[in-house]
Chains A and B, each alone.
Chain A
Amino acid sequence: MAFLDITGVRKAYGPNTVVHHVDLAIERGEFVSFLGPSGCGKTTTLRMVAGFETPSAGRVVIDGKDVTPLRPNQRNIGMVFQAYALFPNMTVAENVGFGLKVAGKPPAEIAPRVEEMLRLIKLPQLGGRYPYQLSGGQQQRVALARALAIKPKILLLDEPLSALDAKIRVSLREEIRAVQRQLGITTIYVTHDQEEALSMSDRIVVMNEGRIEQIGTPFEIYNFPRTRFVASFVGTLNLLEATVAPGGGRLEIDGQPVIARDGINGAAPGTSLTVALRPEAITITDAGGDRNRLAGTVEEVSFLGSVIRIRVRFRDNAVSLDTFNDPAIAPPERGKPVTVSFAHGDVHVLGAA
């Protein structure tokens, strides 16, 4: 039995089902992200674990105990919100110590714990400040310390970085992950930002329309998407319309032959299929060997700094590909004919178009 078991959980508001039958087992100390677009049910699922929503069906079991009928204040969970939610009338130290005070711990026990938490988030000198005197990033770190001070069984983070600017987002996500590793606390992290999910998680749960699309490590999710939704939501993906070539077994894209190692499961000649290609799988310089090659023209060149994104059009289809910026080589010009190549194994057949 896993540390956190979500079994057959469903949530409906009247005729509107927002979460359909979610099954998920999370091990002790694991960092799991719920990833999906807004309205996919990830936050609702998290709130059912926290106890803010009651499941219409199913159970939530934490550490062998069924918490489904328990109120949030009986579950011993730590929660961090997008809007920080620090208590404006309390100092940083009072905020961090709030949970312990509510639990009736003596001041002699609260003070050292608060200090320890403030050291953990690297803000030991700010205990006397009020929330409005802190930056957004600092407020969110205090919110993290407050959630962790009560030694919760599970840490829940609901899009904690969405309200922060890009630079702080990156540094804070590294910090959150470091703290999580240090304490070994089981964590669920809700986000719509795939980069966040990919960089932080042990496992990612990709959700869409109230259902789990795929559960896997970041490596699995990114490289082996099991559904079209996962493929398109995680990473940038080129989707191409292909047809099965006369004679079968091979594909054609805009009249040019393409081989997919996965095979096409004996689809009849003339059938339309969608295939997916990651931008980083495509090269514009010929690597040689047994690869697929497609001839086209450069349609667009975007200089992104360390990377140059090039869009190549064949006839009806086009692909985006990334090359590293090399100061010694000028980027290709628009309108120039080029041949792109990619390995047979990088062609993912997603099914009938």
Chain B
Amino acid sequence: MKRSTVGPWIAFGLGALYFLIPLIATFEFSLRMRRGTYSFDAYAVVFADPRFQASFSYSVLLALITIVLGVMLVVPTAYFIRLRLPKLAPLVEFITLLPLVIPAIVIVFGYLRLYNSSSWLPFTSNARATDLLLAFGYVTLALPYMYRAVDTGMRAIDVRTLTEAAESLGASWATILFRVIFPNVKVAILSGAFITFAVVMGEFTFASLLDRPAFGPYLQLIGANRAYEPAALAIIAFLVTWACMGLLQLVLAGARVARQR
């Protein structure tokens, strides 16, 4: 018996409309800067704005720093938890979930109290140190995604036996980590990296309260003061995120193909 697919299609259609109507409306609005005709004037203005370029490249750089720090922190942690301290796994999973539960504003206020210019570790006393603090904050924010991605990748390979095999062949810890473990969880690290990138590009709370010239506060500033440009920016931000997700799919699909070959 062929089951009716009308119900599922209606549900799918409603979901799609819920998602697409605001997007299309925003896009349509962003094209209306010139009276009476559609144009990409708003986009031209945005791209020509030096603050856009500055804040966008600032956030890209910070995202890359966050990814590097996150990978350095998460990969060895996940590896040794799997290998040596599996009992701690639930605790670590809980800790890595905390950033989803604790609002960013609580974390950033904590930072401001702990690391203000009269504290033991005055991270906020100059701009470079504050940048670093912001990157640390982003590592925390991205932790749930990064840890899960990497841990899943490690579950897919037999970490313990591969480690022992490499060890019996004379490999040191560094060799095992860089030549055996890293290459085999590369796809997982990449997927964690793309999500991290998307999270950092759209982050507002940390950057705003730490007063750093990131993309999120710039979006907010334009949104408060201009009419058409915020719509164009929203579309751009959306495309950047989508590009990340698309790349993620590509990488994962590539890995699947490689495994099936």
Contacts and interface: CB of A to CB of B under 8 A. Distances in A.
Given A72-B164, A83-B161, A89 B183 contact: yes
Interface stretch (B20-28, B104-112, B168-176): B168-176
A98 B157 contact: no
Contact of B170 (A50, A83, A102, A133): A102
Contacts of B184: 87-89
Nearest to A71: B167
Interface stretch (A32-40, A74-82, A272-280, A332-340): A74-82
A265 interface: no
B171 A73 contact: yes
A78 B168 CA distance: 6
Interface string B152-187: 000001100110111111111001000110011010
A240 to B, nearest CB: 44
Dominant secondary structure of chain B at its interface with chain A: helix
Given A87-B184, A89-B184, A73 B161 contact: no
Contacts, number: 70
A147 B184 CA distance: 21
A210 interface: no
A343 to B, nearest CB: 48
A250 interface: no
Interface string A95-128: 0001100110000000000000000000000000
A221 to B, nearest CB: 29
B165 A85 contact: yes
B172 A73 contact: yes
Interface string B114-140: 000000000000000000000000000
Interface residues of A, number: 30
A87 B161 contact: no
A52 interface: yes
B168 A72 contact: yes
B170 A85 contact: no
Contacts of A86: 165
A254 to B, nearest CB: 52
Interface string B73-103: 0000000000000000000000000000000
B150 to A, nearest CB: 16
Contacts of B170: 73-74, 76, 99, 102-103, 150
A192 interface: no
A77 B175 CA distance: 18
A102 B168 contact: no
A81 B157 contact: no
B176 to A, nearest CB: 9
Nearest to A74: B170
Given A71-B167, A79-B168, A85 B161 contact: yes
A146 interface: yes
B259 interface: yes
A85 B166 CA distance: 9
Nearest to B163: A85
B165 A79 contact: yes
Contacts of A102: 166, 169-172, 175
Given A87-B180, A88-B184, A89-B184, A133 B167 contact: no
Given A81-B161, A102-B171, A87 B261 contact: no
Interface of B: 157-158, 161-162, 164-172, 175, 179-180, 183-184, 186, 259, 261
17 contacts: A71-B167, A72-B164, A73-B167, A73-B169, A73-B172, A74-B170, A77-B168, A85-B164, A87-B180, A87-B184, A88-B157, A89-B180, A89-B183, A98-B171, A99-B170, A99-B171, A132-B259
Given A77-B168, A103-B170, A147-B169, 13 more contacts: A51-B167, A71-B167, A73-B169, A73-B171, A79-B168, A81-B161, A85-B158, A85-B162, A87-B180, A88-B184, A89-B186, A102-B166, A146-B165
